[in-house]
Amino acid sequence: MCQLRLSAHADHYPLSLRELIEAGVDPHGDPALGRGLCHGCHSSETARLQPGGWHRDRDQAAEADEAEG
CB 1 within 8 A of CB 8: no
- 3-54 tens-digit pLDDT: 899 999 999 999 988 899 999 999 888 999 999 999 999 988 888 887 776 5
Q: What gap in Å lies between CA 45 and CA 26, rounded to an integer?
A: 21
Task: For the full predicted model, state whether its pTM sits above 0.85.
Answer: no
* Most distant CA pair in the chain, distance: 49
